[in-house]
A and B are shown apart, each in its own frame.
Chain A
């Protein structure tokens, strides 16, 4: 445990001159272009943007699942060449192994590292205890609620003591109350472990509430539209979400994203043909309705 908990800040993520294109039959489709982001050791950074803007693509490249078309991704100066246990990842779909119990899921990374059984059992129990899950160590994931599954997912990603934690809309499938609790849990763990977090979400409140800094992406092809520092003090409380400071940040981010969403939708709508839409809208123009 000492290994996992008592770390000094580490995990400096740098993404430089990044672009990523997919090959399709109609030619290359640019998903992300000309993007620079960085996460300082121990920093909590979120990426927000309209849907389809390539924020998950960017995260997957940091994880090592996708190779950049141009540019480099480095963590603590080392180039990312593929997935590794140094970069823990939490997925929206929980992605727990259904055939493993909660504890076996948490143990998985340690097992891959070759840690002896008794030792990794102890480590997994301690971690599950921190997340209030030790009573469920022998349950199979299927029996757990969404919030519990995602707590297991986070604990599993943290078990190997990664330098950075990458989260891809981890609370997107949870209901509002659960989400608030999960945000609290994540903040607690992050502060305790002092690791860098890169968090992708489409929820602006969530991004502001959790982060030290928020990157806002443009519509596809995605690039960084703005970088917004969040100067709210820590520890953050739910009540802060009503503060004028929070609301001002929220308004700013909202208008940035709305601009991009409209740009993205505008393209689609033009493709579909405005005429058809006008008929459906009974004569009101699209702008009126929006």
Chain B
């Protein structure tokens, strides 16, 4: 079996070094005999990451430009269809931010919102992903549950608020329930979609390697659906925040949505913007968390 044909592969698009070593030793990265100086390393790192650095630089500039425009519009109280007369300036928002981070009440609003998201979203993922997998695999379950899901799905989470208040004994529970509903359907639908796209040839490949139903589920259907499951989780997280803020504004006593609405009622304009920015940052942070988890769980997808 050590025929040269096995080792030599003119067709392979692998790097030449890896090729030369194939068959004898593990493919090694080219190693110079002397360790390179920090300057060369730095230069190399710069070359490899040039595109990323460029994007980061432009990103920072564009955020600064946004702040500048905001600053100018509010200092000159521009009225041009839209009225900036009462809109707080970035500096005013910064002042209230400094005040807020020393205020345990503000931190409590944020923590409570995060806790609601955590519970509601986790429940949605714990129920939605397995349900989607089972519905994708067993026709009967799909036929029974899908019509109900299709009717309930278009109802926006915010329309559930009155019903949620009736259903659940405490306000806290109804807010978590609305957050759950918001993220549940995107997670379910995307998981189902992922299941429907599983390549049947892979299932056949597993079958003729001796895999039974349970192993096929675990080793083929589940990992094959993971990219779509994570799409569902990302979308679900976004909708969870939308639903949470709506619920908090209507029926909450605490939470960042309530904070923002309360600031409006109390005519604390800077706090309105602060609340909005906090919501934006929290939403961004939670999507990044999910994306990071996705990369951890699907190493074959990262380059």
Give A residues with C-beta under 8 Å from B.
Answer: 63-65, 82-85, 87-89, 91, 93, 95-100, 108-109, 112-113, 129-136, 140, 142-148, 156-157, 160, 174-175, 177-178, 181, 184-185, 188-189, 192
Contact in complex: B3, A184 (CB < 8 Å): yes
Q: Using CB atoms, name the residue of chain B closest to A113.
A: B210
For this complex, 13 residue pairs linking A to B, each with C-beta atoms less than 8 Å apart, are A65-B204, A83-B204, A100-B300, A108-B209, A112-B212, A133-B22, A135-B26, A136-B18, A143-B14, A145-B13, A148-B14, A178-B9, A185-B3
Query: How far does the alpha carbon of A89 sit from the alpha carbon of B300 in the complex, in Å?
Result: 24
Asked, given contacts A112-B209, A147-B11, whether A192 binds B1 with beta carbons under 8 Å apart, the answer is: yes
B27 and A89 contact, CB distance less than 8 A: no
A109 near B209: Cβ-Cβ < 8 Å: yes
CB neighbors of A among B208-259 (8 A): 208-212, 215, 219-220, 223-224, 226
Instruction: List residues of chain A with CB within 8 A of the CB of B206.
Output: 97, 108, 112
Is B292 in contact with chain A by the CB < 8 A criterion?
Answer: no
Q: Is the CB of B9 within 8 A of A181?
A: yes
Closest-CB distance, A50 to chain B (whole angstroms): 23
Q: Does B141 contact A (CB under 8 A)?
A: no
Assess the B208–A85 pair: CB atoms within 8 A. Answer: yes
- Chain B contact residues (Cβ within 8 angstroms of A): what range? 35 or more
The answer to whether B205 and A89 touch across the interface, beta carbons within 8 angstroms, is yes
Cβ-based interface call for B5 (8 A): yes
Q: Which residue of B lies closest to A131 (CB)?
A: B6
Task: Show the binding face of B for A, using Cβ within 8 Å.
Answer: 1, 3, 5-7, 9-14, 18, 21-23, 25-27, 199, 201-202, 204-212, 215, 219-220, 223-224, 226, 298-300
The 7 closest A-B pairs by CB, nearest first: A85-B210, A109-B209, A83-B207, A178-B11, A112-B210, A99-B223, A132-B6
Q: Would you give the shortest CB distance from A187 to chain B, in whole angstroms? A: 10
B9, A147: Cβ atoms closer than 8 Å: yes
Is A136 touching B22 in the complex (CB atoms < 8 A)? yes
